[in-house]
Amino acid sequence: MKILIIGGGGREHALAWKIAGDDPGAELFIAPGNAGTAMLGTNLPVQAEDIAGIISWAKKEKPDLTIVGPEAPLCAGITNLMQAEGLRVFGPSKEAARLEGSKIFAKEILRAANVPTAAAEFFTEESKALAYLKTRPLPLVVKADGLAAGKGVMICKTLPEAERAVQETLTAKTFGQAGEKILIEECLAGEEISVLAFVDGHKAVLLPTARDHKRVFENDQGPNTGGMGAYSPAPVENAVFMETARKIIFEPVIAELDRRGICYRGVLYAGLMLTAEGPKVLEFNCRFGDPETQVILPRLQNSLIPAFTACIEGKLRPEHAAARLENCACVVMAAGGYPGKYRKGDVITGLERAAKLEGVTVFHAGTKSEGEKIVTAGGRVLGVTALGRDISGAVKKAYQAAGRIKFKNAHYRRDIAARQ
Ligand code: AMP
Ligand code: GLY
């Protein structure tokens, strides 16, 4: 079976690793991949955003299945375009991916489906937004409507901060078109959790939960990142919680989309805040999370291909997401300076010695091969991941492995899974 994976981060290495482990007959192609995926398949010199390049390769090579990692190609409609060529794709259509591509659309769906979420108002005019700010209690959250590479959400503790966020987004156009519309949202307090589900158009089957660590420094200090580490399961996970999340969040959202003629097939990721009033939706992503995928996939009992096929064919069953009892933790090793400007091209050593530890897998993100060497090529460089009987065992193993890996100015949080 010929499989194309689109993307080049830790998430895509984890997808390739899980498929290669369960389906040794699968022939993997990754666009563009990294030094980790190159050990499992063939990296293609095509970027994930190069839709025309991907379609042209796929028309010629006819993969049996394409798996889309990042949101940008999904929101740009890669699934629709590939399906029009008769190709099988795991990932929602352009219309369904708007759940991530437009926060206003997502909020409208949540409201129509009666799903708990933060109160919000939408604005296109600065004067109206500024006037509204004065009427609301602080802190407030200002959000760009469109995709802004994880930077479009601003938590504002003071009125001047909120005013600046509105002006920068609507008038200075810091986020370009993505910020032509904004949401001003109530700030929710509580613990965050990532709940991902396979969705087949009608049913949702929830994957094991995970918790991400978004801030760059320990104790949740410093700027937001793509995610500095994760663990699974989140402490709140139990059968009652999962059933509640399915019934009050996933099913009503899928049904509301269906009512509007939109069929959601793929992974749906709900970022939830566990508030005193119960779980509320912060955001949706139309794809696997990164680094959540690195801790969810090692916990899945069964192979991914039948699950992806079941999503595409509308035949999803609970066993497609059945989890092992072991826990999993991932520590992200980042390049010096990340999430700001960072260096590239530093040699990474100790990868083999780290992977020798039992239960450890080192997922590559921003890496590439240079001759015999593997060098840094991105902000998040590696996701050092370990399985263990419990979270503390898993995270201890992940740190032991991370300690064996060296590259210049590497940094990572020492408190992954410390607060449970
Ligand atoms: P997003 O870019 O939508 O993933 O949001 C980034 C982060 O902003 C989330 O993971 C939350 O930590 C935070 N956030 C988003 N919306 C809210 C809200 N209404 N209240 C508090 N925090 C929020
Ligand atoms: N880890 C957060 C995300 O994938 O959006």
Instruction: Provide the β-strand partners of residue 3.
Output: 28, 65
Distance CA 104, CA 248 (A): 20
Least confident range from 5-19, 141-155, 187-201, 259-273: namely: 141-155
The answer, yes or no, to whether residue 419 has pLDDT greater than 90, is: no
Tens of pLDDT, residue by residue over 101-130, are 999 999 999 999 999 999 999 999 999 999
pLDDT at residue 420, as a whole number: 66
CA 75 to chain centre: 14
- Residue 141 Cβ < 6 Å to ligand 1: yes
Please identify, by atom number, the ligand 2 atom nearest to the C-alpha of residue 289.
Answer: 4
pLDDT for residue 106:
98
Cα 382 to its chain centre, rounded Å, is 15
- Centroid of ligand 1 to alpha carbon of 143 (angstroms): 9
Angle 234-367-298 from CA coordinates, rounded to 5°: 30
Ligand 2: residues with CB < 6 A are: 212, 227, 285, 289-290, 292
Residue 335 near residue 376, CB atoms below 8 Å:
yes
**Whole-number pLDDT of residue 172:** 85
Compute the distance between CA of residue 163 and CA of residue 132 in angstroms, rounded to an integer.
Answer: 10
Nearest ligand to the C-alpha of residue 118? Answer: 1
What is the 3-state secondary structure of 345-381?
CCECECHHHHHCCCCEEEEECCEEEECCEEEECCCEE
- Beta-sheet strands, E only, within 86-190: 89-90, 120-123, 140-144, 153-156, 182-186
pLDDT band for position 280 (cuts 50, 70, 90): very high
Q: Grade residue 237 by pLDDT with cuts at 50, 70 and 90.
A: confident
Ligand 1 pocket test target in 141, 153, 183 with most atoms within 8 Å of CB = 153
pLDDT at 3 over 90: yes
pLDDT-derived band at 229 (thresholds 50, 70, 90) equals very high
Asked if 159 contacts 133 with a C-beta cutoff of 8 angstroms, the reply is: yes
Confidence label for 415 from pLDDT (cuts 50, 70 and 90): very high
Torsion region of 203: left, alpha or beta (phi above 0 gives left; psi -120 to 50 gives alpha): beta
* This prediction's pTM: 0.97
pLDDT of residue 368: 97
